Homo-oligomer: A and B are copies of this chain.
């Protein structure tokens, strides 16, 4: 069987680089086009990502200015790692040419164009595609993803939050009005192109802060996923924070237990829900997720503690924002879309220390 011909839009960023790294190790794909949205002329990949110097299948490859006809002509699948608003401009052309698309941005994640416009302050020019797009969280939508031409790859925080709460929400073990997600992310989540003092080493290194409190754009995405799982509409509080590390997200989720729920019931729910999931590790009692044990892998670790004094459950989840939170999950979706075993090319162990 010939390899899947893949293209990347946004190859110069951190997610783009990680996608290249993972695709290069994937046994069933080849990268045929590397492009970046803002480029004016082609650059050598090694100028943009010096770590790839002398890597066999990559060296000498150009990163070209964005060209939809080139992508449509050469690729079977295109990964878009670009700021929101970009994908909606090119996806229709790609789909029309029969190219499958995995959009790692926000354009097709929210089912309701109005909600998109309200949170992203951007007009949605392709609202008709929203119903066609499949939200690419395999743990929820595996079957739909297999049939999809357009997958909206979830955000990093939403993956972390959803995987922490799905078993509880799905089985109604918790009061749906009580959900709070307090998340902490490494700086690579901010991307490589935001030239503000905020992400300077000296500004970040000994600091820690919350940001976008009550207003972060991943909030409606988390709510949408959990509402679908719950079968009813819910809202929650989501507070992101910036960690002085490169990679990784840890989310701490709080929920009030419904009357009869004990730790055993919760454990049973997590284990049943994730038993067959290849990339969700439910930690045994007494163990809680840590960022260092997932970075470098496509794993999401989930663990919890029940606080009987306050009748709450505290669920922790950890993942690598560039892998399970972006490029790894995109490959997981690609595997599903192309009928490959879901774990193909994704079984790297965590990279520690």
Q: This chain: how many copies in the complex?
A: 4
Indicate which residue in B24, B235, B246, B293 contacts A353 across the interface (CB closer than 8 Å). Answer: B246
Q: How far is the CA of A209 from the CA of B199 in the complex (A)?
A: 20
A-B contact pairs, 12 of them (CB 8 A): A21-B349, A49-B352, A53-B301, A180-B180, A184-B208, A201-B203, A201-B204, A205-B205, A206-B245, A209-B250, A214-B306, A214-B307
Q: How far is the CA of A202 from the CA of B188 in the complex (A)?
A: 6
Closest B residue to A308 by CB, please name it: B214
Q: How far is the CA of A21 from the CA of B297 in the complex (A)?
A: 12
Q: How far is the CA of A307 from the CA of B239 in the complex (A)?
A: 10
The answer on a CB contact under 8 Å between A252 and B241 is: yes
How big is chain A's contact interface, by range?
35 or more
Closest B residue to A197 by CB, please name it: B192
Query: If A236-B310, A237-B314, A239-B314 touch, does A201 touch B205 (CB 8 Å cutoff)?
Result: yes
A254 on interface, CB distance cutoff 8 Å = yes
The answer on a CB contact under 8 Å between A239 and B210 is: no
Binary contact readout A269-300 vs B (1 if CB under 8 angstroms, 0 otherwise): 00000000000010100011111111111010
Complex contacts, A239 vs chain B, CB 8 Å: 252, 314
A148 on interface, CB distance cutoff 8 Å = no
The answer on a CB contact under 8 Å between B351 and A237 is: no
Q: How far is the CA of A206 from the CA of B239 in the complex (A)?
A: 21
The answer on a CB contact under 8 Å between A207 and B292 is: yes
Indicate which residue in B201, B206, B288, B309 contacts A248 across the interface (CB closer than 8 Å). Answer: B206
Complex contacts, A211 vs chain B, CB 8 Å: 288
A120 on interface, CB distance cutoff 8 Å = no
Q: How far is the CA of A192 from the CA of B352 in the complex (A)?
A: 12
Q: Shortest distance in angstroms between A227's beta carbon and chain B's nearest beta carbon?
A: 13
The answer on a CB contact under 8 Å between B209 and A289 is: yes
The answer on a CB contact under 8 Å between A352 and B205 is: no
A56 on interface, CB distance cutoff 8 Å = yes
A17 on interface, CB distance cutoff 8 Å = yes
Indicate which residue in B201, B213, B349 contacts A305 across the interface (CB closer than 8 Å). Answer: B213
Q: How far is the CA of A41 from the CA of B246 in the complex (A)?
A: 36
Complex contacts, A244 vs chain B, CB 8 Å: 201, 205, 243-245
Complex contacts, A338 vs chain B, CB 8 Å: none
Query: If A14-B202, A180-B180, A293-B50 touch, does A208 touch B245 (CB 8 Å cutoff)?
Result: yes
Indicate which residue in B192, B241, B288, B305 contacts A202 across the interface (CB closer than 8 Å). Answer: B192
Closest B residue to A250 by CB, please name it: B208
- Beyond known contacts A180-B180, A192-B197, A237-B312: 16 more, CB 8 A cutoff: A14-B202, A50-B287, A51-B349, A53-B281, A186-B202, A188-B202, A200-B201, A203-B353, A206-B245, A206-B247, A206-B295, A207-B248, A209-B289, A210-B250, A214-B314, A351-B351
Q: Shortest distance in angstroms between A44's beta carbon and chain B's nearest beta carbon?
A: 11
- The residue in A21, A247, A314, A349 that gathers the most chain B C-beta atoms within 10 A of its C-beta is A349
The answer on a CB contact under 8 Å between B351 and A296 is: yes
Complex contacts, A192 vs chain B, CB 8 Å: 197, 200, 202
Indicate which residue in B24, B200, B296 contacts A200 across the interface (CB closer than 8 Å). Answer: B200
Q: How far is the CA of A248 from the CA of B244 in the complex (A)?
A: 13
